[in-house]
Chain A
Amino acid sequence: MNNLNEIRAKYTEQFQQKSKRARIVVGLGTCGIAAGGDKVMEAIKQEVAARNLDIDIDFTSCIGMCYREPIVEVALPGMASVIYGDIFPDKVSQLIESHVVNKQPVTEWAAMQIPEGRTEYDGIVTMDKSAYYEKQVRTVTSRLGRTNPESIEDYIATGGYEAIEKALSMDRLAVIDEVKKSGLRGRGGAGFSTGMKWTFVYNAQGDKKYAVCNADEGDPGAFMDRSVLEGDPHGVIEGMMIGGYAIGADEGYIYCRAEYPLAIRRLNLAIAKAEKLGLLGENILGSGFNFRIRIKAGAGAFVCGEETALLNSIEGQRGMPRVRPPFPANKGLWQKPTTLNNVETYANVPFILRKGADWYAGMGTEKSKGSKVFCLTGKINNTGLAEVPMGITLREVIFNIAGGIQDGKQFKAVQSGGPSGGCLPAEKLDLPIDYESLGAVGAIMGSGGLVVMDENTCMVDVARFFLNFTQNESCGKCIPCREGTKRMLEILTRICDGEGKVEDMDTLERLANVIKTASLCGLGQTCPNPILTTLRYFRHEYEAHIIDKRCPAGVCNALLVYKIIAENCTGCGACRRVCPVGAISGENKQPHTLDTAACIKCGGCVSKCKFDAIIRG
C-alpha cells in the first residue's frame, strides 16, 4: 500500500454513515469508568434490548468534563449530539424514553450540545458557547470524547495518518524545519524547542537511533497524558513516527506508567492495528521507512519521568539519572542517539504537519506557541481537562473554565507544575500562562497540572506534603537532594507541630538553594520550588505557625484549639456524646463547655454540631 487514499475514503464514508443513524455513546476513559460509566453502558444495553430499539451503541474516551462523569451522548439522525452529564444507571430508562423514543432531549440533564452542522435543539447551550469550552481550543484533545479510541477507522476518517503520509513525501530536514517553525516546545515541563532537539539527534553520529515517548506522567494533579493516550493513542503513535522519520530512527519506545493500565491496553491495541495496516513495520507506505514501537511499563518511581532516569529504566536498571553531558541526543538509549519527547508534544506534531507551522504559531504568545492541555483539580467547581491557547490568564482558567472555588469559598493559591512547581497567590491570577511568565514568578509550566487551593488549605502543610513526596521519590544519587529534602521535611514537620523556630525560615531557604544548585536532575533542581514560593508568597502563614503557634487555616492539628461558642450552642448534647475522651460537659439545653486540656483534637464534635457552635483555630 503506497497511500491511504482508498481506505481513507472508505472509513470516512463509514464515519459519516454513523451520524446518519441514532446512536448513544458512553464516555469510558479511566475517569468515566471510575464514576460508573461501565455500569451505565450495561444499563443502556439492557434498556435498548428490552425496548428492541434500532440504535447504535458506542463508547469514547474522556471529553474533559470530569466533574460531569458519567457522560453519555445521544444523537438522533440530523439532530445535534446532546452531551448529558451525571447519567447514572437509574436515569437511563427515562433518558432513552424521552430522547430516543419521544425525540425530546432531557434539557435539565444536558451539559451541552454539539451541532456539527446538524439541527440545534432549543434550550441547550452549544459546546462553543458553554462556560467550560468557550475559552478552549481543541487540537490535541479534538478527538477526545468524539471518536472511538480503539478504532483506527475513526482515526483515519478524522484526518489520521495524513501527516505521516505528508512527512514521508518531504525531506527529513524539511520536517524538522516545519516543527521548528511552529515554535512547539516540550510539553513535559522544561519547554525545550522540539525542533532543536530533533536537529541535535539528526546531526548525531550513529548507526542506530531511537525515538522515545515519555508517558511516565508522575506529577500529582496531572492526567493530560493519560487522557490523550486513552483518547487518541494513534495521534501519539503518528507523532512518534514523524519524529522517528525526521531524526532517522527505526525504533521507538513508549515508557508508560504501570498505574495507567487502560492507556497501555489502548496503546497496544492501536499499535497492533497500525501494524496490520502496514503503518508500522517495514517499508511504510512504500517509502522505505521502517519503524516499530514497543511499550515499556514503568514500575512506580517518580524520578523515571526525568529523561536519563527513564532511559536507565527502559534498559532494565534502577531509574537513576545520568550525568549530562553526554546528552541523550548523542548518547541515549543503549548509548545511541535518542530523542525523548512527552506524550502531548508528540500528539501536537501530526496537527502541525497537517495544518502547517504558521497555523500553529498563530496561537499563543511570542515565545510560547500553540495550545496547552491543563488539568484543573482541587477545590474548584469544574474539575477536568482543558486545552487553552498559551497566554490565557490563570484567572480565566480558574474562574471561567473551572467555574471558581467550591462552596463559595475564597481562593488562596494555585499550584502549577506539580512537586517541581510553585504555589501562586491571588495577586498572580492575572499572569498569562506561558513558560517565561510562570518561570519568572518561581513556578513552572510543568506538565500542566493546576491544583487550586482555598482558604481552608494550610500552605505550610502543603509545602510539607510536597516535600514528603519528593523526599520519598528522591533516588538517593545526589546527596544534597537525598539528605537536603530529609532535613527540610524535618523542619517543616516541626513547624506544623508547633515547635518551629524563627531561624527555620532562613535555614529552609538556604537548604533549598543548595539543593537546586547541586543536584544532577530535574527532581532535585526543582523540588525546592514549592518551599521557596510558599515562603515568598505566604510567609505570614509560616510566621503564624512559628511565632503565634497558630494555624490560620485550621489544618495543623497540634496548633488547633477547639472552642464552643456559647451563643450558638443549644445544649443538644450531640458533641458531648461523640467525644471519645469526655472533654465536653454541660446540662441539656444549656451551653456546653470544652476542656481544652483533655481534648485530643479528633474533630468528632465539629462534624456532629449542627449549629456551628464549635470552632477550631
Chain B
Amino acid sequence: MVACGCKCETTEQAQLIEQLDRIIDEYRGQPRGLIQVLHKAQELVGYCPKWVQVRVAEGLGVSLQEVYGVVTFYALFSLIPKGRHKISVCAGTACYVKGTKMVVKAIRQHLGIKPGQTTEDSRFSLETVRCIGACGLAPAMIIGKDVHGRLEPEQIPEILEQYQ
C-alpha cells in the first residue's frame, strides 16, 4: 500500500494512486509542470480532491498552498466530483444573444439541476462556460467531447438521451 495520507484501502484506490504517480513522474521536481499534471490528474480522478493536490505538491516540489491556488484559479479544475457526462453550455456573446438562457432552462427542466450542480445519479453535471469558439453554430454546448450546435430547446431531451 502506498502511503498517501488518505484512507484508501481498496485496490482500486491504490491503483489510482499508482497511475497518478506515473503522471507526476513526468515532471517530478519541476514546478513548471503543475498545470499539465493537474490536467492529467483530473482526467484520471475526475476532479482534484485534497489527496490529489497533496500528492502533486509533494511530487513537483511546490507547496500545497500553491497547488490549491492554481486549482481554484483556473475554471477547468474542480474541487467537487463531476457527473459522468459534463454538459458545458456556451455563454459566449453570440450564444447569449441567440438563446443560451433558453438552452439552460430546457436542461434544467429536463434534469432538474442548475448550472454548477450534478444529478443525483451522477449521470450529468451542468455548467455554463466561456465561449467555446463554435459561434457560427450558436447557441452551442459541449457534452463530454461532443459539440452540439444550433440548439433548439425542444431538441434537448433527445440529445441528452444519447448519454447514459
- Chain A positions within 8 Å of B, measured between CB atoms, are 30-31, 33-35, 66-67, 69, 217-223, 226, 257-261, 296-302, 313-319, 375, 377-379, 383-385, 415, 418, 449, 451, 453, 457, 462, 465-466, 469, 473, 475
Contact = CB atoms under 8 A, between A and B. Distances in A.
B134 interface: yes
Interface of B: 31-36, 38-39, 62, 66, 69-70, 73-77, 91-98, 129-138, 140, 145-150
Contacts of B74: 298-301, 318-319
Contact of A34 (B35, B95, B147): B147
Contacts of B38: 299
A236 B51 CA distance: 40
Given A300-B74, A317-B70, A223 B130 contact: no
A489 to B, nearest CB: 15
Nearest to B90: A220
Contact of B134 (A31, A462, A465): A31
A451 B98 CA distance: 11
Given A220-B92, A221-B93, A258-B39, A383 B73 contact: no
A316 B34 contact: yes
Contact of A33 (B95, B129, B147): B147
B137 A35 contact: yes
Contact of A221 (B32, B66, B131): B131
A261 B147 CA distance: 11
A33 B92 CA distance: 19
23 contacts: A30-B133, A31-B136, A66-B136, A217-B133, A221-B94, A223-B131, A223-B133, A223-B135, A226-B133, A259-B133, A296-B36, A300-B130, A301-B75, A314-B32, A316-B31, A316-B35, A319-B73, A375-B136, A451-B93, A457-B97, A462-B93, A469-B130, A473-B130
B70 A220 contact: no
Contacts of A69: 136-137
Contacts of A317: 34, 66, 70
Nearest to A304: B74
A377 B138 contact: yes
A375 B135 contact: yes
B31 A223 contact: no
Nearest to A217: B133
Given A31-B149, A220-B93, A378-B97, A383 B35 contact: no
B34 A377 contact: no
B39 A259 contact: no
A218 B31 contact: no
A37 B131 CA distance: 21
B137 A34 contact: yes
B148 A299 contact: no
A384 to B, nearest CB: 5
B135 A258 contact: no
A35 B73 contact: no
A376 to B, nearest CB: 8
Contacts of A67: 136
A296 B98 contact: no
Given A34-B148, A316-B32, A457-B97, A384 B136 contact: yes
Nearest to A379: B97
- Candidate in A259, A384, A449 with the most chain B CB atoms within 10 angstroms: A259
A228 to B, nearest CB: 12
Given A67-B136, A221-B135, A226-B133, A299 B75 contact: yes
A399 B74 CA distance: 39
A12 B149 CA distance: 37
Contacts of A221: 92-94, 131, 135
Contacts of A453: 97
A27 to B, nearest CB: 12
Contacts of A296: 35-36
B57 to A, nearest CB: 12
A272 B92 CA distance: 33
Contacts of B148: 34
A314 B97 CA distance: 33
Contacts of B135: 66, 220-223, 375, 377, 383, 449, 451
